[in-house]
Amino acid sequence: MSNLNPETTLFPTERIEKFLCVLAVSVLLLSCLAGCGSTYTLKAPEYACYNGEINQHKRLIRAQKSRIFQILTNEKAIQEICPEGTIVTHKSSLTYGVGTLINTKVNHIFKLEWNTRVEEVIPLKMIRLRFLDGFFTGGTEIWEIEEQGEYTSVSHTIIVRPRSFLQKMAWVLKVRRKHDKMVEDFLENLQKVLGAG
């Protein structure tokens, strides 16, 4: 005979509901502790046509925008400034432009890989790419280059919308911070290679 009181015994569905409730509260608390945003998360009307969270990094670099554009569009040059553990390869043999396919592999604690396609290029000003697969599927990546006196402003923006609950939690708790660090390292390396650091 069981010592369980029928009034306090939880059926499997009730256990699952209770577990999910505890999990949701835990995730909410962790999200608040981790910071629900990032110093790089912003709301900007110029990106209103895209759907998702806007994450942007900017750097003022004392260099000609033509040199910066050349590095961003050259497979060998960009590979040299990628943070350790990041490999970027152009899958197209074509000259860099609309339609160029780019594969990115990140080998850190988590291994991530995705492909992007160049959707728009305005020489010396802007490059827009679309995430074709991987964690950021359907998202947008934008590089913008703008002269500001003797400096050039370089901005890297991604607009992402993680699809599943687990992806949203991964983005909030880990992936966003890792992305922020990698982009800041990339911009730091860009500044160094241009002799502007």
CATH number for the region 39-193 comes to 3.30.530.20
Q: What angle do CA 162, 86, 58 make, to 5 degrees?
A: 70
From first to last of the 197 residues of the chain, give the pLDDT tens digit.
556 555 555 567 777 877 776 777 666 555 544 445 567 777 788 888 888 899 999 999 999 999 999 999 999 999 999 999 999 999 977 789 999 999 999 987 778 899 999 999 999 999 999 999 999 999 999 999 999 999 999 999 999 998 888 888 888 888 888 899 999 999 999 999 998 65
| pLDDT recorded at residue 74 | 94
Tokens of 119: 């959707």
User: Bridge partners of 57?
Assistant: 156
Contacts of 33 (CB under 8 A, 6+ apart): none
The answer to whether the CB of 68 falls within 8 A of the CB of 152 is yes
Calpha distance 183→179 (Å, rounded) = 6
Q: What are the domain boundaries of the chain?
A: 39-193
Say what the pTM is.
Answer: 0.79
